[in-house]
Structure 1
């Protein structure tokens, strides 16, 4: 792995690996199979992408969803890495064109779904690749789909073990973010990995804040307040049903929140449009059932809010883990009400298989225990996956941040347990509460329970409070609950101690949860004027992303823009030092971003290149900077030479394997540098004057205001060219 850090920076823009990445990559490059269990945001994708980049031949990535393939291919191509996908979204001509490029060895990574991969036609295609180009690596992403015990089981994944028989000498790698020990063992067995190197990282994601809020009539107002505080940060809200999704989306839109729905009841076209709008930051909130999310790698989601109870703790970890994939602070908030359990119990009761019923009830109970827990949320989540959190306090969940206050509820507990005893331990929580509160129901009258001494003795306590007490008793082991069919309350040894007044009962008092003022992405502390520059750069990023037809985070993540706002780079060495800036992005985006920084700083009286580390980097990397500058100048001149030879922008982009917007930026840069260029082919008749007039009205700092005034008949490419001419005049 000689010069591996240099290649990491060149292709991905990072100076160092995240924990565990290098070790797995080294094993794969040596030809060994590997299994990597790493939480979301820990860099699983880079492991097989970087390995595939270095290995001779073509890497096949098995991925479950089209959206996931598209996202990763967009990111790889933005970094100058030859990657493609083969799936049902392609026309016959597009598929054949891509297969031809693969056969000719012009592609390094190929994404494909397991359903297509296992067809005889595609297996024959793989045989051709192996013979003429060579298979470098078989990477199975989202490997938990292999296991029937996982939360996203896909039957096709269980057939992938056939690849190890067909290609025994090609290293294979399985990767997942979520797997219990049972699921891990199943993955290794089903995929037939040969003496794999196993890397199991911590499930802990310190940047995520966990909170559970009791759901009540005012919860919608709480949710609305949360969203209004977030300044259009991307947020996912999960609901149980399609109806809940539609109702909540309508309510949010009515109250001024830019929200869209996502569920299986929408057409495929609607789902795709809504998903794309969210990914491209055209809306800030997506309200969804769990049908959404598995193929979404949007890194800058600042919160995942479960407005209804999730079905399992494993599912909750996976869904909430879609927040903060960029390692910046994010929140995971669950609105919990015990009534959601009743809904799930009804659904579970419809299952014919008794084992499936038991498994589903156990999963629900895990969620209830987590939601009602008075201990560290993070500790509870990690314990579910067999991991122990060091220390008593994680410092980043509601139970650890707020001081816990307990109240003596011994007398109420005795009343409750006495009622369970007098009804012969044959009923569930709701019925016991009805008796205590003196409900006049037909069932109570028929069974004569209105004659019990405990009938009506708890009228002064709300049903919600009785429910909270019951769940606390269950959680502390002071009461048991049968799982044979309908959950029935049972007394145990500790229950009897309470009834005999040998044990006291303390229950956590309901108090206000700590309010975090914002789900702001500011992991990096910015001054007010730097925050303004950060927003200015986000607008530029959105504009460039729209021009290139990719999500904004493909251009740069928020962290890169935050560092640009704080450090304000103005030469190539400074810009290249920003995390996320590799060689391709240095070439494509150095000029637009440094121009935007300089113009903003001049207008707001801010200094440039302030970070002292930049001067040190400049001295250390002078030779490298000179080399990059020459390379940058060379690539711009190459574009100009082709243009002067009569080639169109489209032809140059195709010849140089660059986007048309990048070619336009090359030409705009050369115009600003004083080159005389015939711009007639680049502008529609009369557009030059119109654009210049609008620039006089709104300024040239950002193109979006001018574009909005001019309308769809004017392109961003034309705005770039006219702005360059005006700056040079």
Structure 2
């Protein structure tokens, strides 16, 4: 093999750039980053999508001896990168699960022969003990010139796409400290940058942060209504070129892609439920402009490097500002104008909150809820969208970008100086120890138990804000934050703090003008009068029963009201019947419906009561049923087998619940039944082994009959869901 060119082969870096990639000049900080890399320095690169991050490690890889190993989280992304490099005549390859054994061996042989300059790997493969012998052999033969960690935000719990396997990458510095590391991402706040450096053990890294302002992108937020699909279709037809539509679940992806095809739009789905070949084929169709639209799950992400995407539409709510910036940033990477639209509805907020509640770690939940608040603030705000985004990443922007819906169609300003003074005064009197919701409760004179226990009903600001709605006070608070007239902690708790601007407002030195707009649809307007009387638990149960009714109706291809009327469901939610006799007393339940639906509805109600520590009303439990999930589990239903199939595909229980449109409690019940029927269930994926041990010990000590007794033995750090799963495994073994 002819010797490969090195830095000494070219009179300048620009000459090397032209030789390998055909460009005449570097962009942004590319040259400075490459210079540091060639000095074998650790580097952290924050550069927006389309800014040329990849070239920052690709060019140094071609100018140094040895192979550069690139860590990438997505198979699609590494395949796309390798294909682009090969198109430029650059020796690059990847090793991942899409290859056959013979293909893998051939590529390993080429690596050890020195025929490869860039090797792309997923973090799981790189950190696998079985892969390290090859890594060490590679270092001893051709040499490893550098590690490049792409999508480095995945290493941080504060990032938008945290992946635990990225946490293991610190071992690279432990085992091979002499090899430089370059970490790269398009989105990272100051906190995330610090976390990346710390987690990867970077040594005195040079940090390069390019501007986050993508001036060619037009941002807008539209309300989500029953007509949203029609509006989506209209948007696609109005816009030229190709686009990406993001959805929250695979089910929604399949639904939207199917409807678009029915309406004459060439569209394909892209999510983890498709097999590798289908994903690859759909990606190829999109990249080659054989299909115009890709519909994809937000959770799975998109590793597609297509520069001429003209629109990105979030049909469902993004989870964080960082993920939205990343996903919307796939539009207009060629620098030409592109549109980014979010459809915002409060049903999506509930879905994301549900997903957050399933996170096992309390700190992770706090972080995720704070990130969700930022997204809601962005969607509801009437100020410049670009200003909010850039402020999130610590970049100052004056606003009035002339390229977002709020700047092009501004809501009129109103003088809210007096209201701002009331709000800030309340923050001060609450000793700057609480968040927005608590301050609003005080201003509006709430009788909430916690507020009264704190004695905040005796504050001078208690009840002085009853003339404004909760939404209006929230808009004021968000505006004060955006105008930097109020501060907020960023440790996951979102506590409001006064700053210099706050005191200027309180001293009447500056006025406060804000955009105030009325929400088109409020939650209360959509709630029927008889539902308002339901308690919180009853409302939750009603939602679960409606989901069950919808699923049963869909299975029979009938409208939901044919199964049960809303009035019957509300009565079930109030009375919580768990026996046949009690269920038959519900209005609308006759002999036929009792036979057809009695068991499935009473099981759902009983499971809800167990999950929420509720007892059925005495009149509903005259005949006691077994609390053990094993009773009646000899035969599995089709819906339980569907859950088992998704579990075997590697989906988490939360993902299965979202995918199937069922509550998590229902999915856990399915898993309990599966275990009781000796179906293969990987408990280690559902409950960490270190938490299983004390649960098993508690069950051995107090028995398996009562969940509450087991939890009392364990303490409040254990939740009922993990106890249920471990108990089901214990019972299947005894």
Normalised to the residue count of structure 1, the TM-score between the two structures is 0.57
Aligned to 1:244: 252
- 1:351 and 1:119 map into 2 onto residues whose CA distance is 25
User: Greater shift after overlay, 157-166 or 11-20?
Assistant: 157-166
Aligned to 1:120: 129
How many residue pairs get aligned? The number is 466
Alpha-carbon offset, residue 418 of structure 1: 11
CA contact (8 A) 2:411 2:515 kept: no
Normalised to the residue count of structure 2, the TM-score between the two structures is 0.57
Structure 1 residues 226 and 131: CA distance shift in structure 2, 3 A: same
Which 4+ residue blocks in structure 1 deviate beyond 6 angstroms? 407-414, 417-420, 477-481, 503-506
CA contact (8 A) 1:408 1:507 kept: no
Alignment map for 1:196-215 (pairs within 5 Å): 196-215=205-224
Choose which of 89, 93, 113 in structure 2 pairs with 1:104. Answer: 113
Aligned to 2:166: 157
Q: Deviations over 1:93-127 (max 9, x none)?
A: 22222222221212211112222222334322222
Question: Secondary structure at 1:138's aligned position in 2?
Answer: strand
Q: Deviations over 1:642-683 (max 9, x none)?
A: xxxxxxxxxxxxxxxxxxxxxxxxxxxxxxxxxxxxxxxxxx
CA contact (8 A) 1:57 1:105 kept: yes
Structure 1 residues 88 and 400: CA distance shift in structure 2, 3 A: same
Question: Secondary structure at 2:119's aligned position in 1?
Answer: strand
**1:356 matched to 2:333:** no
Aligned to 1:402: 409
- 1:480 and 1:425 map into 2 onto residues whose CA distance is 25
- 1:510 and 1:174 map into 2 onto residues whose CA distance is 44
Alignment map for 1:670-685 (pairs within 5 Å): none
Q: Deviations over 1:587-624 (max 9, x none)?
A: xxxxxxxxxxxxxxxxxxxxxxxxxxxxxxxxxxxxxx
**1:70 matched to 2:82:** no
Q: Deviations over 1:471-503 (max 9, x none)?
A: 43553469999x9x999xxxxxx9xx9xxxxx9
- 1:256 and 1:368 map into 2 onto residues whose CA distance is 33
Q: Deviations over 1:270-299 (max 9, x none)?
A: 334333322332211122221343422222
**1:47 matched to 2:24:** no
- 2:227 and 2:252 map into 1 onto residues whose CA distance is 16
Choose which of 372, 375, 387 in structure 2 pairs with 1:367. Answer: 375
Alignment map for 1:17-56 (pairs within 5 Å): 17-56=26-65
Structure 1 residues 130 and 226: CA distance shift in structure 2, 3 A: same
CA RMSD of aligned residues (A): 4.0
- Larger RCO: Structure 1 or Structure 2 (Cα < 8 Å, ≥ 6 residues apart)? 1
Aligned to 1:619: none
Choose which of 188, 191, 205 in structure 2 pairs with 1:182. Answer: 191
Alpha-carbon offset, residue 392 of structure 1: 3.4
Structure 1 residues 290 and 376: CA distance shift in structure 2, 3 A: same
Aligned to 2:269: 261
Structure 1 residues 25 and 301: CA distance shift in structure 2, 3 A: same
**1:472 matched to 2:475:** yes
Structure 1 residues 45 and 474: CA distance shift in structure 2, 3 A: same
Alpha-carbon offset, residue 382 of structure 1: 1.2
Gaps of 5+ in 1: 429-453, 459-465, 488-493, 498-502, 513-729
CA contact (8 A) 1:410 1:506 kept: no
Q: Deviations over 1:49-83 (max 9, x none)?
A: 10001112221112222211111111111111111
Structure 1 residues 425 and 486: CA distance shift in structure 2, 3 A: farther
Aligned to 1:93: 102
CA contact (8 A) 2:40 2:180 kept: yes
- 2:35 and 2:132 map into 1 onto residues whose CA distance is 28
- 1:477 and 1:406 map into 2 onto residues whose CA distance is 14
Gaps of 5+ in 2: 1-6, 423-439, 452-464, 495-501, 506-510, 521-734
- 2:287 and 2:411 map into 1 onto residues whose CA distance is 39
**1:287 matched to 2:298:** no
Question: Secondary structure at 2:33's aligned position in 1?
Answer: helix
CA contact (8 A) 1:35 1:198 kept: yes
